[in-house]
């Protein structure tokens, strides 16, 4: 069974600095400083509002200030937070790096979150954003034939769900998906979902937090009624999905459900690039930790996106 001694040496100080977070009574941890990033003078950020399926929605748009008139590829980015937490602001630095490293426009959606808005609110908002992007491609000066979707954690789960939904609706055409450490399976039946628990890893996203978050997201839905669009691990048919880049840490609660999903994508003849990072936990690369492994992982998925936009998959 995994324990703290299995954490990569250069990440142990990071692990110690992560506060324990209470999902039932979410309060900002005192005296916890989130690692900051240096904002690039080359990236412009704007906020746009449009009418979603049930409410007004806001997106943050990141683009190169010096971009040419040529239509740029576009990434729909979906933030994480267990379907219950987070905002697009937490990923400002990463979205800027996507803009510069993958030479694209990034659009990050502020979707509705549980428990106030359980499934399918978040998915509806993400799909409405895809539709808005395609419908406004000319104004945004983007190439809608090079549309990718990506996200981490719950955002990774929504990425997988969104590609399933777009496939089944036959609209829009997503060329590439990038679920990073995705939250895919509400059943919590894998070995890794038992290994990463509150007793051994109280300050990581652990089994107990995961169970609470899924209950909040699924609301009154019974286990035998959970849709593949809520928990993509339940999807039986993965054919016809776009090529994928997937990455996760060895000490991530979602490790086994992610590896199972990757294996089934491969069996469905979907091109997949998969990275497993030994000794790494959930979110190890996410909040701009400056360890070598964190920078390496971020750079690898930024470059994967760049390859996808050059149609190298």
User: 89 is written with which tokens?
Assistant: 């602001």
CA angle 251–126–245, rounded 5-degree value: 40
Q: How far is CA 313 from CA 153, 243, 258, in A?
A: 23, 7, 20
Q: How many CB atoms lie within 10 A of CB 227?
A: 17
- The rounded distance, in Å, linking the Cα atoms of 226 and 232 is 10
State the Cα angle at 36 between 30 and 41, rounded to 5°.
145
Q: Cite the active site residues.
A: 153, 252, 282
Cα within 13 Å of Cα(98), Cβ side: 30
Q: Which residue has the tokens 């000490």?
A: 251
The neighbour count for residue 261, using CB atoms within 10 Å, is 25
Whole-angstrom Cα distance, residue 61 to residue 26?
28
Structure tokens at 130: 């895809």
Query: Is the full-model pTM beyond 0.75?
Result: yes
Rounded CA-CA distance 47/312 in Å is 31
Contact between 113 and 85 (Cβ < 8 Å): yes
Q: Which helix or strand (DSSP H or E) is residue 123 part of? A: helix 121-135
CA distance 21 to 86: 13
Going residue by residue through the chain, which has 313 residues, state the pLDDT in tens, using 9 for 90 and above: 788 889 999 999 989 888 887 888 776 656 556 667 788 999 999 999 999 999 999 999 999 999 989 999 999 999 999 999 999 999 999 999 999 999 999 999 999 999 999 999 999 999 999 999 999 999 999 999 999 999 999 999 999 999 999 999 999 999 999 999 999 999 999 999 999 999 999 999 999 999 999 999 999 888 889 999 999 999 999 999 999 999 999 999 999 999 999 999 999 999 999 999 999 999 999 866 789 999 999 999 999 999 999 987 7
What is the chain's length? 313
Distance CA 56, CA 27 (A): 26
Domains within the chain, CATH numbers bracketed: 4-25+32-309 (3.40.50.1820)
């Amino acid at each position: 069974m995994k324990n703290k001694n299995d954490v990569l040496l250069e990440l142990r100080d990071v692990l110690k600095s992560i506060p324990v977070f209470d999902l039932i009574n979410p309060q900002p941890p005192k005296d916890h400083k989130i690692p900051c990033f240096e904002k690039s003078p080359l990236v412009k950020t704007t906020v746009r509002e449009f009418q979603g399926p049930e409410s007004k929605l806001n997106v943050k748009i990141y683009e190169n200030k010096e971009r040419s008139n040529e239509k740029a590829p576009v990434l729909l980015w979906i933030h994480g937070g267990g379907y219950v937490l987070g905002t697009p602001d937490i990923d400002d630095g990463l979205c800027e790096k996507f803009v510069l490293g993958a030479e694209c426009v990034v659009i990050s959606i502020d979707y509705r979150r549980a428990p106030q808005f359980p499934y399918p609110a978040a998915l509806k908002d993400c799909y409405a954003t895809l539709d808005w992007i395609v419908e406004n491609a000319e104004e945004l000066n983007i190439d809608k034939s090079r549309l990718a979707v990506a996200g981490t954690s719950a955002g990774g789960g929504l990425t997988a769900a969104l590609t399933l939904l777009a496939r089944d609706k036959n609209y829009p055409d997503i060329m590439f998906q990038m679920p990073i450490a995705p939250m895919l399976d509400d059943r919590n039946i894998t070995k890794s979902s038992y290994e990463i628990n509150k007793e051994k890893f109280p300050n990581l996203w652990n089994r107990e937090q995961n169970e609470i978050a899924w209950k909040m997201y699924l609301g009154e839905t019974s286990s035998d009624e959970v849709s593949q669009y809520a928990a993509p691990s339940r999807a039986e048919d993965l054919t016809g999905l776009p090529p994928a880049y997937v990455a996760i840490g060895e000490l991530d609660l979602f490790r086994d459900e992610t590896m199972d999903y990757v294996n089934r994508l491969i069996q469905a003849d979907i091109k997949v690039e998969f990275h497993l990072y030994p000794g790494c936990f959930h979110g190890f690369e996410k909040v701009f930790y400056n360890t070598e492994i964190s920078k390496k992982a971020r750079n690898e998925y930024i470059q994967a996106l760049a390859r996808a936009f050059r149609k190298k998959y």
